[in-house]
Amino acid sequence: GNPLISMTNRYCVFGNPIGDSKSPAIHTRFAQQTGEEIVYEARLAPIDGFAAAVRDFIALGGRGANVTVPFKEEAFRLCDRHTPRALQAGAVNTLIFAGDGITGDNTDGAGLVQDLNTNLGTVIAGRRVLLLGAGGAARGALGPLLAEKPALLVVANRTAAKAEALAEHFAADGPVDGCGFTALAGRHFDLVINATSASLGGEVLPLPAGCYAPGALAYDMMYGKGDTAFLAAARAAGVTRLADGLGMLVEQAAEAFFVWRGVRPVTQPVLEALRQP
Ligand code: NDP
């Protein structure tokens, strides 16, 4: 092949769909800022062809990849080895390709905590945290959130049994409980994180009135133009501190860039550029 192409440090994000991904723009800005010579593209993987798409990309000289919906669990199974945080999450959003196989990492939870701590100035330690959802995103967030030592962490999910199982799985890592939405009545939280995909369909979660303590932050992992359905409902309930998941997206990307390149990009200007209409 072309020696120039094979010498390029190639990275990509795999997903389906992938057309709207902001990851190429984020990593290209990181590369410009740090002087790292990488090329990063979005690659559509067929729903039944993820493993083949990864193999093709490795054959093209790929050094690493991000993985998004719906392949994070399949990516976990594909890896030859995992970092501790990927093992804890049971899902992989970052692949590292080396001569001796594929390593899987998960930077989503670290990205969430970094966004909360640094970009939003939110202290998690000692606070009451409500995590909504029990899918891959919630699972990835639990370990890093508990490591921040909240006073308590409640996982609530439409299918209560999934939240209970998740809480049980993480019981050794901190004070965590699982339940359905109705069991939240009469409870108050300082930080409410939406890790469900309900906002995707514009659906509002049946949260009891008063679950937001005074001064609480409502955080949606989803993002888009204007308020998501979850944030609009929180605003209508009187919540004034609101954040969407764009900061998390940029921070998980920065963590992946660091894993691959050993250089930590500055995220603030990249986040600001993405927020421009
Ligand atoms: P999963 O499909 O694994 O999980 C979906 C979760 O949402 C389940 O808990 C499910 O509940 C719940 N849910 C779906 N629809 C509804 C509804 N109508 N009402 C109530 N609950 C509902 O998805 P992920 O965990 O992978 O992703 C969740 C969200 O997080 C997505 O919107 C994704 O875009 C976002 N995300 C953002 C990231 C970022 O960087 N900003 C990173 C990762 C994810 P049940 O178990 O009852 O079916």
pLDDT tens by residue, the chain, 277 residues: 455 555 689 999 999 999 999 999 999 999 999 999 999 999 999 999 999 999 999 999 999 999 999 999 999 999 999 999 999 999 999 999 998 899 999 999 999 999 999 999 999 999 999 999 999 899 999 999 999 999 999 999 999 999 999 999 999 999 999 999 999 999 999 999 999 999 888 899 999 989 999 999 999 999 988 999 999 999 999 999 999 999 999 999 999 999 999 999 999 999 999 998 7
Q: What are the catalytic residues?
A: 72
- The DSSP output letter for 85 is H
Nearest protein Cα to ligand 1, atom 34: 222
Q: Residues near 269 by Cβ (< 8 Å), separated by ≥ 6?
A: 29, 33
CA of 157 to the centre of ligand 1 (A): 10
Ligand 1 neighbour 220 (Cβ under 6 A):
no
Q: Is 124 in the pocket of ligand 1 (CB under 6 A)?
A: no
Q: Three-class SS of residue 209?
A: coil
Structure tokens of 168? 């049980």
User: What are residue 81's DSSP bridge partners?
Assistant: 103
* Residues 6 or more apart whose Cβ sits within 8 Å of residue 236: none
Taking the CA of residue 69 as reference, the ligand 1 atom at the shortest distance is 26
Is 136's C-beta closer than 6 angstroms to any atom of ligand 1?
Answer: yes
Instruction: Please name the residue whose Cα sits nearest to atom 44 of ligand 1.
Output: 137
CA–centroid distance, residue 137 to ligand 1 (Å): 7
Q: How many angstroms separate the alpha carbon of residue 72 from the centre of ligand 1?
A: 13
What CA–CA distance (Å, rounded) separates 212 from 189?
5
- Please identify, by atom number, the ligand 1 atom nearest to the C-alpha of residue 245: 41
Q: Is 67 in the pocket of ligand 1 (CB under 6 A)?
A: no
Q: CB of 197 closer than 6 A to ligand 1? A: yes
- State pTM to two decimals: 0.95
Q: Are 256 and 104 in contact (CB under 8 A)?
A: no
| Cα dist from 191 to 54, 113, 215, 217, whole Å | 37, 12, 9, 5
Q: Name the phi and psi angles at 102, rounded to 5.
A: -110, 125
b/e per residue, 99-111, with b = 16+ CB within 10 A? eeebbbbbbbbbb
